[in-house]
Homo-oligomer: A and B are copies of this chain.
Amino acid sequence: MATRVSPAAEDREQEGDIVERCRGFMCPPVTDINVLQGSKEEMRTRMEMLIMETQAEFCRALQEVDGGTFKVDRWDRKEGGGGISCVMQDGKVFEKAGVNVSVVFGHLTEEAAKQMRSRGKVLKGKDGKLPFCAMGVSSVIHPKNPHIPTVHFNYRYFEIEEEDGAKQWWFGGGTDLTPVYVNKEDAFQFHNTLKEACDKHHSQYYPDFKKWCDRYFYIRHRGETRGIGGIFFDDLDSPSQEEAFSFVKSCAGTVVPCYLPIVYKHLNDSFTDEEKDWQQVRRGRYVEFNLVYDRGVKFGLATPGSRIESILMSLPLTARWEYMHEPAKGSLEAEMLEVLRNPKEWV
Contacts and interface: CB of A to CB of B under 8 A. Distances in A.
Interface of A: 71, 73, 87, 89, 96, 98, 220-222, 280, 284, 287-288, 291-292, 298, 301-302, 306, 308-309, 312-313, 315-324
A301 B292 contact: yes
Contacts of A320: 317-319
6 contacts: A96-B323, A221-B306, A288-B312, A292-B298, A317-B322, A319-B321
A318 B306 CA distance: 27
Contacts of A287: 287, 291, 319
- The number of times this chain is found in the oligomer is 2
Residue picked from A284, A312, A318, A323, most chain B C-beta under 10 Å: A323
Nearest to A291: B291
B319 A318 contact: yes
Closest 3 CB pairs of A and B: A291-B291, A315-B321, A221-B301
Contacts of A222: 308
Nearest to A306: B221
A96 B98 CA distance: 30
A303 to B, nearest CB: 9
A83 to B, nearest CB: 13
A280 B321 contact: no
A280 B322 CA distance: 16
A163 to B, nearest CB: 33
Given A292-B292, A318-B319, 9 more contacts: A96-B323, A221-B301, A221-B302, A284-B315, A287-B291, A309-B324, A312-B321, A315-B321, A317-B322
